[in-house]
Structure 1
């Protein structure tokens, strides 16, 4: 079965464009993620690529949950691009068919999980944009897809303390604003 990874790649492209737009002195800026700098956000998404690469190869999962900045030492853009390239090379047809654990849903093929993974780089693209003063308008199609995913995965993430409580979105808010509020992010 062929997997359509176009949304996944578009979300990574969006994130990479924002990483490329961060000025050299912008990496210490605080992000909307409590306690995280812009570098931590970039490191977290880069760590996600390391995790996907490990899953694709059938290797033990790496500890990507602590000290996210360690995944982007020195030149953040170069670290991101190198890790992204290594991850992409690992996404062979066999790897995309490999069953991996997917929360309370049991096991799913990695390729199917990457469709849901759009949420991660997309929302952190917004975090990075806000932290570094870049435009924070997201791709509406990706937002729509990510919002559907968020509604499925939010409860266990909140229960484990990895996702903030939802905020009330302003009346008449667009879908991006509603998604961000659902994820506990204020656009004000």
Structure 2
């Protein structure tokens, strides 16, 4: 089965570009994720690539939420490139067809899961941009796709304590602003 992973790769490219733009003194900046710095956000997404690798191979999954900065220690951009390469190497036809648990949706082939995995790197790209003073306008096509995924996974994430309560979006807000409010991100 062929999987269209272009959105997944585009969201990773977006995150990578913002990661490369973090100034040397920006890693300790507070992020929109409560209690996390820019380095924590970067580490969480870097750890997410190791999670993808583990899903593809059947290895134990890393905890990407506890002390996420450990994944981005030292040169975060180099850590990202290494993690992304390891995840990509694991995305073989067998790895992509491997069934993985997806909350209330049950089990899906990893390739199907990755078609919706745009939300995670996309919203954390915004978090990293906001924390480090970079432009935070996201690709509208990716935002649209991520918003659909957010509606499917938000309840489980909120129950698990991984997502803040929804905030009200301003009247007439664009889709990116509505997505961020839905995810509990302070827009101002």
**TM-score tier (shorter):** over 0.9
Q: Return the alpha-carbon distance in structure 2 between the equivalents of residues 63 and 146 of structure 1.
A: 23
Aligned length: 188
Q: Which residue of 1 aligns with 2:42?
A: 42
Q: Which residue of 1 aligns with 2:169?
A: 169
> What is the RMSD of the two structures over their aligned residues, measured on CA atoms?
0.7
Q: Which residue of 2 aligns with 1:94?
A: 94
Q: TM-score, normalised by structure 1?
A: 0.98
Q: Return the alpha-carbon distance in structure 2 between the equivalents of residues 73 and 61 of structure 1.
A: 19
Q: Return the alpha-carbon distance in structure 1 between the equivalents of residues 78 and 161 of structure 2.
A: 31
Query: 1:96-133: CA deviations, max 9, x gaps?
Result: 00001111111100001011110000000000000000
Q: Does 1:135 align with 2:127?
A: no
Q: Return the alpha-carbon distance in structure 2 between the equivalents of residues 38 and 93 of structure 1.
A: 34
Q: TM-score, normalised by structure 2?
A: 0.98
Query: 1:84-103: CA deviations, max 9, x gaps?
Result: 01110110011000001111
Alignment of 1:7-86 (within 5 A): 7-86=7-86
Q: Return the alpha-carbon distance in structure 2 between the equivalents of residues 73 and 186 of structure 1.
A: 27
Q: Does 1:119 align with 2:119?
A: yes
Q: Which residue of 2 aligns with 1:185?
A: 185
Q: Which residue of 1 aligns with 2:5?
A: 5
Q: Return the alpha-carbon distance in structure 2 between the equivalents of residues 131 and 67 of structure 1.
A: 18
